[in-house]
Structure 1
Amino acid sequence: MNYTIYIVEDDISISRLMKEHIEKYGLAATVVTNFESIIEEFQLLTPHLVLLDVNLPKFDGFYWCRRIREISKVPILFISARESGLDQVRALENGADDYITKPFSYEVVMAKINSHIRRVFGDYAPSLNERVIELEGLRLYPERLELECQGKTAILTKKEAILLESLIQTYPKVVNRNYLLEQMWDHSDFVEENTLNVNITRVRKKLQDLNIENGIETIRGLGYKLNKSW
């Protein structure tokens, strides 16, 4: 498969050299042509990975990273002369997968590009048969024990994943407490009520980590329901 890399860099010499190195390693590379239409170019190109600078004309790389994350999960690697830890944190919080500071070794950049491509599309990519349970942008991967929303990911325990799967699949209906106990434990008669409460609290915290406040609503006397607040 011929993978395509989209280079969003306003330094012509760097983008040209980067394109040459990428193509030398057997990948396709396209350099941005219009810094005001990056999303439109991205959608036409449908690249497998994006190399993104921070300092760009009109809008910075953080802005474009967020925009790309709204429509795609392709790997995004920042390449920037800005070395501060705050910039690196901002890049990751806006959905980036990696951050490389200038000056850099082209060999290191290529190694990172190939590593991310293998992870997403190659030998290390998730199985095509992997289950994905989704509700309007909220994605649960039960086998991976991961929850994703708006470019952020939370790691779950097995019990938390079972609980969330029940809530998502039942939405917008209320899930009975006894049903949740039966799904999460084989013998619900021997499980303390507080054990379920603890797991509900933990899942609420995981949802908050994804900027989903009040994600689970308690329906007194019945059970719980997912509150779609994202």
Structure 2
Amino acid sequence: MSSIMIVEDDPKITQLLQAQLEKYGYRTTIVTEFDEVLDVFQQNKPELVLMDVNLPKFDGFYWCRQIRMLSNCPILFISARESKMDQVMALENGADDYITKPFDYDVVLAKIRSQLRRAYGMYANQEKERTIEVEGLVLYPERMELVRDQQKVELSKKEALLLDLLMSHYPRVVSRERMLEKLWDEQFVDENTLNVYVTRVRAKLKDLSLSGAVETVRGEGYRLKATWGDSHEAIHT
């Protein structure tokens, strides 16, 4: 059966989760030293992580980012913090789902089964890792990494989606409407939010010495300008 790591500083909730999971045959690893979350993860290599937000030392968002640098295993947040911003931050930092306390154990188990099926079971993607390359700039969407000349920057989920669009459509313009649809599905989002993410993507490209790589096309949207190269086509693998 699958192994699950529980990162929760409330002993009572931890014990209840552990008992419920083991009742259904899951193997559990409990984190007790909250400055060693990444060490415990590397030692035990769980197939799924249940993560609280409010933790000693560093919060769950921090540990989620650290795990994402090593693994794409499902991470589910379980937290008493109910604000939309907390849920957005969890997803932005690499989480797969967010469950608010108090929670129903049957719902938690159903979400765990669903994530495990997607990651490892019948719904898992068995194809090789997808990459997009434009003039030596390589995006790894699943890893949320951008690489150029052996330099690497980490991306949030939204930043990776935005770059996926720009690089896939290179050298064409991507409309603001298409970006809003891709990044936020059918949710209503102020267009200023998109501006914030475009600014963040520009900053990440600047970290790779690519200033001015995202051009604003007034009244239309944005496009990638690969002025550091000569080709006019994105390479997908």
Residues 220 and 208 of structure 1, relative CA distance in 2, 3 Å threshold: same
Residues 210 and 27 of structure 1, relative CA distance in 2, 3 Å threshold: farther
Q: Does 1:113 align with 2:120?
A: no
Identify unmatched segments of 5+ residues in structure 1.
Answer: 142-146, 165-195
Identify the range of structure 1 (214-223 vs 13-22) with the bigger mean alpha-carbon deviation: 214-223
- Larger CA Rg, structure 1 vs 2: 1
Letter in 1 for 2:97: D
Letter in 2 for 1:69: R
Q: What are the residue-to-residue correspondences of 1:170-185 with 2, within 5 Å?
A: none
Give, in whole Å, the separation in 2 of the partners of 1:209 and 1:134: 21
Partner in structure 2 of residue 154 of structure 1: 161
SS at match of 1:5: strand
Identify unmatched segments of 5+ residues in structure 2.
Answer: 146-154, 184-196, 206-212, 215-223
Deviation, structure 1 residue 33: 2.3
Calculate the aligned-residue CA RMSD, in Å: 3.6
State the TM-score, normalized to the length of structure 2: 0.65
Residues 221 and 38 of structure 1, relative CA distance in 2, 3 Å threshold: closer
Partner in structure 1 of residue 55 of structure 2: 56
Q: Is the 8 A contact 1:95 1:151 kept in 2?
A: yes
Q: What are the residue-to-residue correspondences of 1:70-219 with 2, within 5 Å?
A: 70-127=69-126, 129-133=127-131, 138-139=139-140, 148-149=144-145, 150=155, 152=157, 153-154=160-161, 161=168, 196-198=171-173, 208=198, 211=201, 212-213=204-205, 214=213, 216-219=224-227
Residues 45 and 225 of structure 1, relative CA distance in 2, 3 Å threshold: same
Give, in whole Å, the separation in 2 of the partners of 1:198 and 1:92: 27
Deviation, structure 1 residue 34: 1.1
Residues 224 and 61 of structure 1, relative CA distance in 2, 3 Å threshold: same
Q: Is the 8 A contact 1:54 1:78 kept in 2?
A: yes
Residues 117 and 225 of structure 1, relative CA distance in 2, 3 Å threshold: same
- Aligned-residue sequence identity (percent) comes to 46
Q: Is the 8 A contact 2:132 2:167 kept in 1?
A: no
CA deviation digits over 1:176-207, x for unaligned, max 9?
xxxxxxxxxxxxxxxxxxxx5436x999x999
State the TM-score, normalized to the length of structure 1: 0.67
Deviation, structure 1 residue 222: 3.8
Q: Is the 8 A contact 1:7 1:51 kept in 2?
A: yes
How many residues matched? 185
